[in-house]
A and B are shown apart, each in its own frame.
Chain A
Amino acid sequence: MNKVFPNVAKAVEDIPDGASIAIAGFFTAGTPLPLIKALVEQGAKDLTIICMQMGPGNEDINQLVVNKQIKKAICNYPFYRSASRGANSPTEQAVRAGDIEMEVSPMGTFSERLRCGGAGIAAFYTPTGVGTVVEEGKEKRQFGDREYLLETALKPDYAFVYAYKGDRMGNLCCHKTARNYNPEMAAAAKITIAAVENIVEPGEIDGDMVHIPGVYVQRVVKVDRLRYIPTID
């Protein structure tokens, strides 16, 4: 079994217009920037993007917005914290203009929707969001003495994930806080494309250290380790 693709361009080549794509990463950590850049080059349109943020720590995603490749975004922390910085960002401007449809889930709900998507669960009840705007249009049900909202699974067509180490069978090992959304997004998507810093032979990753089992990963592509100073300012 060999899932290795020769380069990022080949790895994203078949993504059609209208696809849904989960993009991992928590601000700067574990974000597969080379795959986002390849998607900009590739040019697919009417995309639904599922990711934590649309700009902060993930500036490259702005180019997808500027190119009008995104129809809808599902996020949990989409905008810059600073209102003035946000007002000047392409994403916030596109959302205000109605060019991008934005759906916001609480962070824990967001990742649980993905986990369920990869685990054969259609929906789940969570106490998060009860009594807030998040409950609008959702079933609310009491279990014991507490109310819960019914939230539905996310099953994206593709996922872009990032790993410190991976083998040609798709087993991945993440590094520290760069793991974040990567495992659940890899499992949720039909086709998961992993940008990997170090591609090694099967067996070189201790089986106990595999954070994302290869069954969830369809494509592996080598990328250079990014060098940046983590910041959202």
Chain B
Amino acid sequence: MSVAKTKKFKGLSRELIALRIANELEDGTYVNLGIGIPTLVSDWIEGRDIVLQAELGMLNTGPLASQEEVEQDLINASCQPVTELPGSCYFSENESFAMIRGGYMDAAVLGALQVSEEGDLAGWQNPGRGLPEDIGNIGGSMDLAVGARKVIIAMMHVTNDGQYKIVKKCSYPLTARGVVDLIVTDLAFIEVTPKGLVLREVAPGLTAKDVQSVTEPKLIVSPDLIEMAF
């Protein structure tokens, strides 16, 4: 296993990763948010013209329910009680995934364990858990990865013990091949292109060299490289 041997950099909080992604989403779109940092994106799009899908069968999912609003038949895909908005609608889980595979989600924001320079995504099984390699919580991740028109990854740049998460080739079981469009981490904003990973933005105070030191594949530094702004 490759290890990034450099110092740890101080980057964005999980909330600011979510904000950077929220700013990347376009108005008038349908979006699915995965578990973890992706869920935080919903905190930053209130009032925006963005419709969130909950994959168990709901469109226009509202904010998390307050204690008084909790309705046991109204949850999101992370089993959190949520609320309705004007224009919310319900359907079966089967129709929800027909929608996803059918290409009706403009974007999916997903977490990841590893992303390769070719846009391969590994996010459903950590081999460290010790389960057989074909058994684990696949959930909706594989369908979203192949079905959404744009796949945006929200994650920390390296693991807690400093291992690369942006790698030449994923060593963990794959969710899908060649599907990732954007990677937003605590340290960088990276676009996956046919030529390789293009570093477009760095977290405030960091340099391209800093980000490269914790990224296994060679980054192509955009001539327009900027610091992330909010």
Structural contact, B138 and A232, CB atoms closer than 8 A:
no
Cβ-based interface call for B9 (8 A): no
Task: Write the nearest CB–CB distance from A96 to chain B, whole angstroms.
Answer: 7
Chain B residue nearest to A105 (CB atoms) is B138
Cβ-based interface call for A184 (8 A): yes
Cβ-based interface call for A142 (8 A): no
* Interface of B, helix, strand, loop or mixed by DSSP: loop
Chain B residue nearest to A187 (CB atoms) is B94
Interface size on A, residues (CB 8 A): 57
Structural contact, A96 and B131, CB atoms closer than 8 A:
yes
Output the residue of A127, A132, A133, A232 with the most chain B CB within 10 A: A132
A232 to B97, CA, bound (A): 22
Task: Write the nearest CB–CB distance from B198 to chain A, whole angstroms.
Answer: 23
Structural contact, A112 and B90, CB atoms closer than 8 A:
no
* B176 contact set on A, CB distance < 8 A: 130-132
Indicate which residue in A27, A76, A136 contacts B79 across the interface (CB closer than 8 Å): A27
Indicate which residue in A114, A132, A176, A229 contacts B142 across the interface (CB closer than 8 Å): A132
Q: Mark A62-98, 1 if CB is under 8 A from B, else 0.
A: 0000000000000011110101001000001001100
Indicate whether A177 sits within 8 Å of B131 (C-beta atoms), given known contacts A81-B35, A130-B177.
no
Output the residue of B35, B71, B93, B129 with the most chain A CB within 10 A: B93
Structural contact, B73 and A134, CB atoms closer than 8 A:
no
Structural contact, A112 and B56, CB atoms closer than 8 A:
no
Structural contact, B72 and A230, CB atoms closer than 8 A:
yes
Could you list 18 further interchain pairs (A-B, Cβ under 8 angstroms) beyond the known A77-B138, A134-B138? A26-B56, A27-B79, A29-B74, A29-B75, A92-B131, A102-B135, A104-B136, A107-B143, A111-B97, A127-B147, A131-B174, A131-B176, A132-B173, A133-B134, A134-B142, A179-B92, A227-B72, A229-B72
The 5 closest A-B pairs by CB, nearest first: A108-B97, A108-B143, A131-B177, A27-B79, A106-B142
